[in-house]
Amino acid sequence: MSAQAPLALLCLPCAGASASMYLRWRRFLPPWVRIVPVELPGRGARMGEVFVEDFDALVARICTEQADAMRGDFALFGHSMGALLAHGVTRRLQSLRRPLPRALLVSGCSAPSRRDPERFDGGEDDASLIAELRKQGGTPEEVFASEELMRITLDTLRADRRVCRSHVHVAAWPPLPLPIHAFAGRQDDIEVPAVAAWSEETGSAFTLDWFEGGHFFLRQHEAVFLAALARRLPTHLHQAQLQAHQG
């Protein structure tokens, strides 16, 4: 094994999902990237645990539980709710004066300053949540067909909506001293300025890549998306490390 550790890419899930949504990425990203799917309480391998339904409390848990993964060279990625959490984790690390990620990568999510506070005011009954899942796409048909899987998904989504609702934007934060790379679907219902406003969170580089597809463009066009993601990852150190190791 190389003495130089790979770049750890911590991946935070979208609302209603578990860390398993990122497992297959391990086959498609460069060898110098180590995917770290972050499992949140109450789902997947942690299904026996109680959901954390407060945004700040969940961010604090992630910072504590993933301390080892964030000790070396790392970046943060999140889709939708996961993007909001990844930003929250970065801000908390900043406030604690802990090492920051090399980059923050956010997908399918309005910037914290442009979020619609009424978006999560809708009903949380099963029928309303199922309608939301249908609208967003990305949920496999076998989930809808299974009463057990549907129950797990709806309970998780309900808890995650409360996480998103409890998020409070802090306008006084200074710009982050690291690159932010945003990704968005052209047919998603998130407004272009709301995605572009991620640029206001950084004092470093900012990029915004657009893809065909709706909210789950990263599944609809996975190969194209992962190629773009790999291009945006901080690579200069790792390519040199990989070449030195192979040589």
**pLDDT tens digits, residue range 93-119?**
999 999 999 999 999 999 999 987 666
pLDDT at 47: 92
Q: Give the Å distances, CA to CA, from 6 to 89, 90, 98, 100, 237.
A: 21, 20, 20, 16, 10
Q: Give the Å distances, CA to CA, from 208 to 39, 145, 197, 232.
A: 27, 36, 10, 10
- Res. 245 pLDDT band, cuts 50 70 90: very low
CA distance 245 to 247: 5
pLDDT tens digits along 125-149 = 777 777 877 777 667 777 777 788 8
Q: Give the Å distances, CA to CA, from 135 to 100, 144, 184, 215.
A: 35, 13, 17, 9
Please, how many CA atoms are within 13 Å of residue 173, restricted to the half-sphere of its CB?
Answer: 21
Residue 10's closest CA among 107, 81, 101, 84?
101
> What is the 3-state secondary structure of 21-75?
HHHHHHHCCCCCEEEEECCCCCCHHHCCCCCCCCHHHHHHHHHHHCCCCCCCCEE
pLDDT at 237: 53
Tell me which residues are annotated as active site.
Answer: 80, 215
Element (H, E) at 189: none
CA distance 87 to 114: 14
What average pLDDT does range 164-188 have in this prediction? 93
Give percent of the chain above pLDDT 90: 69
pLDDT at 151: 82
pLDDT tens digits along 23-80 = 999 999 999 999 999 999 999 899 999 999 999 999 999 999 999 999 989 999 999 9
Report whether pLDDT(243) > 70. no
Residues 6+ apart with CB under 8 A from 135: none
What average pLDDT does range 199-205 have in this prediction? 96
Q: Give the Å distances, CA to CA, from 27 to 23, 33, 88, 223, 243.
A: 8, 11, 28, 11, 20
This prediction's pTM: 0.89
Residue with the bigger pLDDT between 117 and 218: it is: 218
For residue 52 the two structure tokens come to 């954390």
